[in-house]
Amino acid sequence: MKSGRLQFKAERFKTSYDFKRYPDLPDSFENNWKNNSRDWLILLDGNTELRRWKCQTVANYCFGAMATADTIPCGDTVAPGEFTVECFVPPRGFHGEIHAITRTRDIDGQWIDHHAMQTTAGGFQNGRWLIHDRFSVKLGKDSDYAWSAGCFILASQDLAALNQAARSLGVIPGDLIPGMLLEL
């Protein structure tokens, strides 16, 4: 039985922004792993906490192919405040069953729309803000660290547990669940 009172809460610790092992060196896989996956993604029914999972909520994959033209460091990180989760969206190239983060802003002030994307002034859509796991096709297992370009990243077994919990509560593909991100 699905409750209309389901909601997500994300708790981000400010130390999560301190992800560079060596602050004076450039962003890279070798450097951007400090304070990884310290945040929480929490599923609530009203005020009752049902489950919580460790996750990465700060964009620490802000180099190479994922470099953006943001005006501030890790600007694609979802900003504190309200967001909406669209449940069980098509995974495309992602592993497992994933969810979209929609109807919110990143810390650079850019709108993340109902498609979990941003649209530039010229009409180009970019990004896709998601809740997904850290499974690496190359490794055939989870990577040692979560690499976020703005998404909320969980371990594979935690994403599976989130999905099982959601299904047991009657959540189906396309359901919208409100969320709130807090910084502690």
Q: Is 179 helix (H, G, I), strand (E, B) or coil?
A: strand
Asked if residues 162 and 51 have their Cβ atoms less than 8 Å apart, the reply is yes
Encode pLDDT of 125-146 as tens digits: 778 999 999 999 999 999 999 9
19-39: pLDDT as tens digits: 999 999 998 999 999 999 999
What are 169's strand-pairing partners?
none
Percent over 90 (pLDDT), the chain: 79
User: For the whole model, what pTM was predicted?
Assistant: 0.93
Q: Do β-strands 81-89 and 176-183 pair in parallel, antiparallel, or remain unpaired?
A: antiparallel
Query: Quick one: pLDDT band at residue 110, thresholds 50, 70, 90?
Result: very high
In the chain, where the domains are located: 6-183
